[in-house]
Amino acid sequence: MGHGHGHGIAAQQGSASGKHVRKLTAALAIGAAFMVLEFVVGLTTSSLALLSDAAHMLTDVLGVGMALAAIVLAKRSGPTFSRTFGVYRAEVLAALANAVLLFGVAGYVVYEAIDRFANPPEVPGLPVLLAAAAGLVANLVSFSLLRSGAEESINVRGAYLEVLADLIGSVGVLISGAITLTTGWRYADPIIGVAIGLFVLPRTYALARRALRILFQHAPIDVDVSEINTDLAALPGVTDVHDLHVWTLTSGMEVASAHLTLDAGAEPSVVLVAAQDVLATRYRIDHATLQVEPGESAKRCGELSW
């Protein structure tokens, strides 16, 4: 019997989110400052549109804050004998919480916008435009900070989508404010509100679906497990592959385990090295726990109920 453990660069560095702490911190500070500005101007001018955008920016601050807290928690609480995988899943839970938050905000925006069709409020012009422009600049800066990390980390992607949604919201406030200022047409605000909500909802669904895939320990969406099974079974000395599992711990940390049944003349250490190399080079799975076993031991695996 034997166990093979591949501990590559990804495993040593931790999750894909850890290297984006500074960018998340900067995005949090920028968002908080301009959220306060929008709330102050919104309350001063009684602008419902600007207050709605400020509330949306509040979700950005909460979302980025949760993402940052999850990363810090995961980095400080490494694996122990009771938490064998540490608390890396906190990042995934933060992403799911962000998705739920976005669903709530998007649903509220759509509901409020529809309600405004019956009695569209008067939106003040210049103060709203200036505050919305400042909020737009803040979101553009945060958007540029988080864009690259969103491709690597589901946690950063949650915060990124928060900022993206508010960026679109700021643009909508600018457009509706400009139309109201120049034409006096009050329906611009609810129409754009519905458009913002419809834009946010499908992207939020995709984020929630991805987070739930990880929490349910489904195979990564870009990994073909049947192909891995075929490649491992094709290794010299391997007669069967079973109990193959591939899952994501958190973004950038894919994990695999498998039992490899060997023929009588196979050298276990050679098979282990070959299997680890297949998983690391072809599938970027650096952390793999592999058990090699003679044919007699494989019968016990077949007797297990799950």
The answer to whether 45 and 121 have CB atoms below 8 angstroms apart is no
**H-helix segments, the chain:** 9-13, 21-45, 48-76, 89-116, 126-150, 154-183, 188-215, 225-233, 268-283, 295-303
CATH at 263: 3.30.360.10
Can you tell me the distance from the alpha carbon of 8 to that of 223, in angstroms, rounded to the nearest whole number?
A: 18
The answer to the question of residue 134 being in a domain is yes
Residue 158 and residue 268 in one domain: no
pLDDT of residue 49: 67
Residue 82 and residue 43 in one domain: yes
Structure tokens at 301: 């695996």
Query: What is the extent of the structural domain holding 274?
Result: 225-303
Residue 202 and residue 62 in one domain: yes
pTM > 0.85: no
Q: What is the pLDDT along the chain (306 residues), one digit of tens a residue?
A: 444 444 443 333 445 556 677 888 888 898 889 888 888 887 777 666 677 777 767 767 877 777 777 777 767 666 777 888 878 788 788 888 878 887 887 787 777 777 778 777 676 667 777 887 888 888 888 888 888 777 777 667 777 877 887 787 778 778 877 887 888 787 877 777 777 777 778 878 888 898 899 999 999 988 999 999 999 999 999 999 999 999 998 877 899 999 999 998 899 999 999 999 999 999 999 899 999 988 766 667 766 777
Structure tokens at 94: 């933060």
Place of tokens 């807290």: 69
Closest by alpha carbon to 303, among 237, 243, 239, 233?
243
pLDDT of residue 100: 87
The answer to the question of residue 10 being in a domain is no
In eight-state DSSP terms, residue 236 is T
The answer to the question of residue 7 being in a domain is no
Amino acid at 82: S
The answer to whether 257 and 272 have CB atoms below 8 angstroms apart is no
Residue 211 and residue 229 in one domain: no
Residue 207 and residue 278 in one domain: no
pLDDT of residue 6: 45
Tell me the per-residue pLDDT of 76-121, one tens digit each, with 9 for 90 and over.
Answer: 666 777 888 878 788 788 888 878 887 887 787 777 777 778 777 6
The answer to the question of residue 220 being in a domain is no
pLDDT of residue 296: 67
Residue 78 and residue 20 in one domain: yes
First to last CA, the chain: 21
DSSP code per residue over 134-183: HHHHHHHHHHHHHHHHHTT-HHHHHHHHHHHHHHHHHHHHHHHHHHHHHH
Residue 287 and residue 139 in one domain: no
pLDDT of residue 298: 62
Residue 238 and residue 176 in one domain: no
Residue 129 and residue 250 in one domain: no
Residue 202 and residue 235 in one domain: no
The answer to the question of residue 9 being in a domain is no
The answer to the question of residue 2 being in a domain is no
Beta-strand relationship, 238-250 and 253-262: antiparallel
The answer to the question of residue 6 being in a domain is no
Residue 208 and residue 263 in one domain: no
Tell me the per-residue pLDDT of 230-258, one tens digit each, with 9 for 90 and over.
Answer: 999 999 999 999 999 999 988 778 999 99
pLDDT of residue 302: 67
Residue 198 and residue 50 in one domain: yes
How many folded domains does the chain comprise? Answer: 2
DSSP code per residue over 250-273: ETTEEEEEEEEEE-TT--HHHHHH
CATH at 181: 1.20.1510.10
